[in-house]
Amino acid sequence: MAYFEKSDVLHTLPKQFFASLVSKVGEIAAEGYDVINLGQGNPDQPTPRHIVAKLRTAAENPINHKYSPFRGAGYLKEAVCEYYKREFGVELDPAKEVAILFGGKAGLVELPQCLLNPGDTVLVPDPGYPDYWSGVALARAKMEMMPLKEDKGYLPDYGQLGTEALEKAKLMFLNYPNNPTGAMATEEFFKETVELAKEHSICVVHDFAYGGIGFEGDKPLSFLQVEGAKETGIEIYTLSKTYNMAGWRVGFAVGNQSVIEAIELLQDHLYVSLFPAVQEAAAEALLGPQDCVEELVRTYESRRNVFIGGLQSIGWNVSAPAGSFFSWLKVPDGFTSQDFSDYLLSHAHVAVAPGIGFGEYGEGYVRAGLLTTEDRLLKAVSRIEALKIF
């Protein structure tokens, strides 16, 4: 059989670091061990029933079996606008300031291809979501990393970026509540970001994937709530986390008209929009009862308190996340993040994600998800305690 060589651009894609974690977990589980997998980012709760019911009835409507409009259904774009007005007080134009996405990841990977030319510079958080790197590689652009450090609240220190990097940068990725650290952004930080973006003509892309998940009554801040944000960039939201719709692959981008137009132009050549029944269900999620979201946040907050409290009780000096469904945990002295991740998996059968997989500044930490029951989280704590590391 003939072998056809991959394109040069595919050879530049970063290695999928977490594929090795999945493989390691699978090997341990195949040996018959009960692995408590805290390394994943896949919501464990089902999609709320009223959203599933809307999908069911919409799927039975023959009109939804046809191609949908290339740029998404008008009713879904209007629902997005109503959602942003209700939740964040942000006014949006459904015709010009909303793009429907095949999940938030698709938008994040598409953006560099929409706005950059080979050799252009992108400011990327470190640690950060690895798929930012994938989009930059596909656009044949260059990354300038923005360190996220604990003593700065895991917010980038723009004063530490070189003048040359700022002058060259055309795009900046941000993500709050943050994956992997669980940190939240402040209004002052977003104001500083807008000023920087205006001064250097940088397009800001705020990944708001965990925008529905904040703890202790602290509601996550939308980038677009800050004056001038819409002029300097966009926000990408997914229904995967807020509504447990990860497998449905539906999200949206909102904000700057020129960026939204660029996304929709690219998608015109890639897709014919989403299955209309999924769009109807997405509109139901945004406009329907929101008590399911409140219940979900309470669940994650309770899990956070049980897990972090348990780890602290065994002597592990860790801090609770402010948002998202992840915890960011310092590894003990004498371990790298990869070593400690491997040690927990092989000796305690607890899987966590090594921080180095999120970038150079992720070294020294592991990420643990709150995506299992409180009983399982406590069992993980018990197994770690039995190692007598702390």
pLDDT in tens, 256-306: 999 999 999 999 999 988 999 999 999 999 999 999 999 999 999 999 999
H/E stretch holding 58 reads: helix 49-59
Q: Which domains, and CATH codes, for the chain?
A: 8-46+291-386 (3.90.1150.10), 50-287 (3.40.640.10)
Cα–Cα–Cα angle for 31, 37, 39, rounded to 5 degrees: 125
Cα–Cα distance for residue pair 79/86, rounded to 1 Å: 10
Tell whether pTM > 0.75. yes
- The predicted pLDDT at position 272 comes to 87
Q: What is the pLDDT along the chain (390 residues), one digit of tens a residue?
A: 899 999 988 998 988 777 878 888 889 888 888 999 999 889 999 999 999 999 999 999 999 999 999 999 999 999 999 999 999 999 999 999 999 999 999 999 999 999 999 999 999 999 999 999 999 999 999 999 999 999 999 999 999 998 889 999 999 999 999 999 999 999 999 999 999 999 999 999 999 999 999 999 999 999 999 999 999 999 999 999 999 999 999 999 999 999 999 999 999 999 988 999 999 999 999 999 999 999 999 999 999 999 999 999 999 999 999 999 999 999 999 999 999 999 999 999 999 999 999 999 999 999 999 999 999 999 999 999 999 998
- The predicted pLDDT at position 54 comes to 97
Kindly state the DSSP code that residue 34 receives in the 8-state scheme. Answer: -
H/E stretch holding 54 reads: helix 49-59
Write out the E strands in the chain. Answer: 36-37, 98-101, 121-126, 142-147, 169-175, 203-207, 233-238, 251-255, 326-330, 350-351, 353-354, 365-369
